[in-house]
Amino acid sequence: MPYSELHFKRAWAEISLDRLKKNALYCLSLLPPSCQPMYVVKANAYGHGAVKTAELLSGELNAGWFAVSSLDEAAELRHAKIPGEILILGYTPPQYAGELISCGVVQAVTDLEYAKALSCEAIKAGGRIRVHTAIDTGMTRIGLGSGGSCGRAVKEAYSISSLPGLLAEGIFSHLSSADGAGESDREFTASQIKSFLQIKKELARLGFVPRYSHILNSAGAYIQPGEVSSFARFGIMLYGISPSPDICLDGKIEPVMELKALVAQVKEVPGGVPVSYGRSYVTGGRTRIATVTVGYGDGYPRLLSNRGRVLIRGKSAPIIGRVCMDQLMVDASGIDGVTAGDTVTLIGRDGGECISAWELAGSCSMIAYEIVCAVAERVPRVYIREK
């Protein structure tokens, strides 16, 4: 939408395509020649807009691979005419084998029984499904094996490679602790990579050499520059957010999303006045209260009641009272000239002040991933290009 139409909106998310491209180029700079980027655009590109994100990456950086969570997400990209390969990391019921084939996507296979069911349905549909077999090296979420044990995983992965109706072109795993700062985190990550490479070696000994093998996520690609993976699956770093507060990427990547709203009303009240539901906050003295047009219905965490802050006119204003579904209140007493229609920054920069997704997350026992993914569909995404 044109930027001028923002004045008709109550809350919106500004998405910087320039920052997105800059972050993608930084991610590329981390990789050895043998490793390609696979851009993770699941969950609507972590709330940033999957189609717009994929359009930029494929159109300007010639991105060849994207990862999504479901067949619905893959179909959305295909309907938008996004070129390149799409890997579905999540589960697709076998009865949708025909759709997987017609969509031309790659499906993750989580276990031998699922692979057999998918194989049968693919044969019925008259085609073959390209698959990447998941290996559990210690995440204990999906995949063959358990806790990094090799024997059964090798046997089953080899069996999957010969199933009719399937084209087993890859294996993959996922690092559980690559974003941790502790010595045990580093050791566990190293053990996962070692197990994965051992399984790959054993499969080759049996005669199955997968075209692709990948284990690196954003944090893994940052801390493990060696040639251990065909792809680095870049998710959170692509959107300008560090995988954890322990990994400092200041100046290397920039947040792509800024969440903004408007001041709807300003009123002055004396001390002793309760604010919002449940009267969890009572003014201690004369207070200038600004009501802001955003709430938990927009994905702004209710847990930030009485503990979060926003930016108005380049200054910080604390949230007072409980966050409502569509609105919240802040103490704007220390900010001169606040008036209805002023822009409020909930995530992003205003003047010399900045509120990051990690700051919000830390204030309510969440992670930054949750903050951006939670921004509701009803919040318009406004795509900005300056260069």
Domain membership of residue 94 (yes or no) is yes
Domain membership of residue 88 (yes or no) is yes
- Please answer whether residues 175 and 192 qualify as being in contact, where contact means their C-beta atoms are separated by less than 8 angstroms: yes
Q: How far apart are CA 108 and CA 214, in angstroms?
A: 12
Q: Which of 26, 42, 46, 300 is catalytic?
A: 42
Return the sign of the alpha-carbon dihedral for residues 58, 64, 70, 75: positive
Q: Which residues does 341 contact at the CB level (< 8 Å), separation at least 6?
A: 262, 263
Domain membership of residue 70 (yes or no) is yes
User: Which among 185, 204, 239 is the end of a domain?
Assistant: 239
Domain membership of residue 23 (yes or no) is no
Q: Which of 3, 124, 267, 277 is catalytic?
A: 277
**Tens digit of each residue's pLDDT (9 = 90 or more) over 271-330:** 999 999 999 999 999 999 999 999 999 999 999 999 999 999 999 999 999 999 999 999
> Phi then psi for 135, rounded to 5 degrees?
-115, 130
Is it the case that residue 355 has pLDDT exceeding 60? Answer: yes
User: Which among 177, 210, 239 is the end of a domain?
Assistant: 239
336 in the same domain as 208: no
45 in the same domain as 121: yes
Q: How far apart are CA 17 and CA 91, in angstroms?
A: 30
Is it the case that residue 8 has pLDDT exceeding 80? Answer: no
Amino acid type, 69 = S
Q: Residue 21's pLDDT is what?
A: 98
Q: Span 207-216, mean pLDDT?
A: 97
Instruction: Give the total number of structural domains in the chain.
Output: 2
Percent above pLDDT 70 for the chain: 96
Domain membership of residue 250 (yes or no) is no
223 in the same domain as 276: no
199 in the same domain as 114: yes
CATH number for position 303: 2.40.37.10
Which stretch of 72-86, 214-228, 240-254, 256-270 has the lowest confidence by average pLDDT? 214-228
214 in the same domain as 78: yes
Q: Span 148-161, mean pLDDT?
A: 90
| 115, 274, 286 from 280: Cα distances, Å | 54, 7, 17
- Please answer whether residues 173 and 213 qualify as being in contact, where contact means their C-beta atoms are separated by less than 8 angstroms: no
150 in the same domain as 55: yes
Report DSSP state, residue 336.
T
- Please answer whether residues 172 and 132 qualify as being in contact, where contact means their C-beta atoms are separated by less than 8 angstroms: yes
**Helix, strand or coil for residue 106?**
strand
Is it the case that residue 5 has pLDDT exceeding 80? Answer: no
Domain membership of residue 2 (yes or no) is no
295 in the same domain as 213: no
First to last CA, the chain: 18
378 in the same domain as 294: yes
User: Which among 170, 205, 239 is the end of a domain?
Assistant: 239
Domain membership of residue 228 (yes or no) is yes
Domain membership of residue 261 (yes or no) is yes
231 in the same domain as 266: no
Q: Is 277 a catalytic residue?
A: yes
Q: Span 150-162, mean pLDDT?
A: 95
Q: Residue 18's pLDDT is what?
A: 98
Domain that holds residue 119: 31-239
How confident is the prediction for the chain on average, in pLDDT? Answer: 95
CATH number for position 151: 3.20.20.10
**Tens digit of each residue's pLDDT (9 = 90 or more) over 40-66:** 999 999 999 999 999 999 999 999 999
157 in the same domain as 187: yes
Q: Residue 47's pLDDT is what?
A: 98
Rounded to 5°, the CA angle 63-23-11 comes to 105
145 in the same domain as 106: yes
**pLDDT confidence band for 150 (50 / 70 / 90):** confident
335 in the same domain as 235: no
Q: Residue 1's pLDDT is what?
A: 44
